[in-house]
Amino acid sequence: MPLPPPMGGLMEEWEEGMGESSSPPHPMAMGHGSLKDKDPEELKRRLYERVVESRRPEELPEEASVFLRHLGRLPIRYLIDLGIDRADDVLLHWRILTLCAHPDNRPVFHARFQKCITVPAAKFDDDDDPCQSLMEDLSLERRNKGRAGVGADNTDSMSISSRDKKTLLLHEIIFSSLDKPKLLSRLTALLSEVGLNIREAHVYSTTDGFCLDVFVVDGWETEETEDLITTIKEALSRKNVGDSEIDWNLLTMGEKIATGSFADLYQGSYNGVDVAVKILRDSHFNNSSVNHENVLQFYGACTRPPKYCIVTEYMPGGNLYNFLHMQNNVLDLLTILRIAIGISKGMDYLHRNNIIHRDLKTANLLIGRDQVVKIADFGVARQGNQEGQMTAETGTYRWMAPEIINHKPYDHKADVFSFAIILWELTTSKVPYDNMTPLQAALGVRQGFRLEIPSSVHPRLSKLIRRCWDEDPDVRAVFAEILIELEDILHQAQANRGSSRRSRAKMQKKTPG
């Protein structure tokens, strides 16, 4: 999007005097004086007509009202900046903001090559003030554009020899997320970190709390954008840009779902999206930056007094404990394996990121759509220390590893022990040690007592459970091994089921009608 940059003395005002939701003043609006004087609704209508004329029907929103609402959520300045001839840009921005509406997609960004420009090489080699150099280059480019058609190219070729020129590739980066304080400064720092120089920046806020930030940058040495997108994604994951502080005023609280020792859990909504809101009784909480399909998605947190809360995705199926023991569900082998594989994938991800859950149990496993299970409640989760072991009792007795019960040093293998208990629950649909109090169960585990595995349990699952709750943590498998074993059992079970179905079909054909 080749929008003009802030010029001269306006740069300081942009950096210091304007809010996060503002865009630097620029001459484009002045260049569209006739548009600036138009009624906003007329601008929207004309822009929509131009979009319809230039695109195929399948590329457009189903109804004109959808597109007009999109334009209405953006400031009038956006319409003036773009004019009525930028149908491609407007449709791209609409698609980006539509993606951004779903929390799982945030933050959304798009990168595309824009054009090549030629500038004096000395500006990048010897200048002590890169900002001043940037302003001079942009002024020179604008003056050259003004001389177009009256020998500007000849003048350039005479004043700057080819050996003193440097060719720069310009790319456009478009970013969208929830509009939050200091987001712009975090974005500019991120682009700088990956070696990009910002030549233009245009920042828009929507009326429903999102941002649409457009940067024109140089510093990427190829027109291809695939590697650029990968590089930005990696930087985004390191910086966690677009997440963190939640505005309490944008939260709508619903009914209370559950009450715990440290927090109350509510159903709610944030910017129109269903969420779960955990209201903390003090300001201490663990905000581990994780992103995996089998780990509950963290949206943000309120960390300013007097409101402390964590906002996550809402899981309509409740927790696995209630699913098994309150609803009395008995699972078949394929369902057991699919759930166990999902848990293993999530735990493998956490352990590879050096996060030990420390309270893994069915009550902390939430069920989403299509029975996808996600690991939740990191209230006691923590990073492993340098020695790879920790001490002090934490967790829940019925799922607790013996080394924790005994107040011995422990590491990620404590989670593997807890997983063995969960796997036993899945195969039996029973509460662990249901004839004992939690303390009696802990004392039994401490003395080597283990749950009885029914003979009906798949023999390979039975063997895996025994290995995972072994007294010696070194004997227990890691989740990468557990995952391989479970997937192999699943493939075998699916193949056996397919063979059985084919055999029954053959028998039915042979049976006389």
- In sequence order, the 6+-apart residues with CB closer than 8 A to the CB of 183 are 20, 177, 211, 213, 241, 242
- In sequence order, the 6+-apart residues with CB closer than 8 A to the CB of 43 are 35, 76, 79, 80, 84
Q: Are 64 and 47 contacting, i.e. CB atoms less than 8 angstroms apart? A: no
- In sequence order, the 6+-apart residues with CB closer than 8 A to the CB of 475 are 467
Q: Are 29 and 43 contacting, i.e. CB atoms less than 8 angstroms apart? A: no
Tens-place pLDDT, residues 276-323: 888 876 555 555 556 788 998 877 777 666 677 788 888 888 999 999
Q: Is 63 helix (H, G, I), strand (E, B) or coil?
A: coil
Quick check: bond before 120 cis, omega within 30? no
Tens-place pLDDT, residues 316-369: 889 999 999 988 888 999 999 999 999 999 999 999 988 898 899 999 999 987
CA-CA-CA-CA torsion sign (211, 216, 218, 220):
positive
Domain covering 248-313, topology: Phosphorylase Kinase; domain 1 (3.30.200)
Q: Are 119 and 133 contacting, i.e. CB atoms less than 8 angstroms apart? A: no
* Residue with token string 């050996």: 163
Tens-place pLDDT, residues 10-42: 223 222 233 333 333 333 333 344 555 567 677
- Residue 508, pLDDT score: 66
- Residue 511, pLDDT score: 60
Scored b (16 or more CB within 10 A) or e, 105-137 reads ebbbbbbeebeebebbeebbeeeeeeeebbbeb
- Point out the residues that are catalytic: 359
CATH number of 320-495: 1.10.510.10
Where does CATH 1.10.510.10 sit in the chain?
320-495
Tens-place pLDDT, residues 43-75: 777 777 777 776 655 566 666 677 778 888 888
CA-CA-CA-CA torsion sign (71, 75, 80, 86):
negative
Where does CATH 3.30.200.20 sit in the chain?
248-313
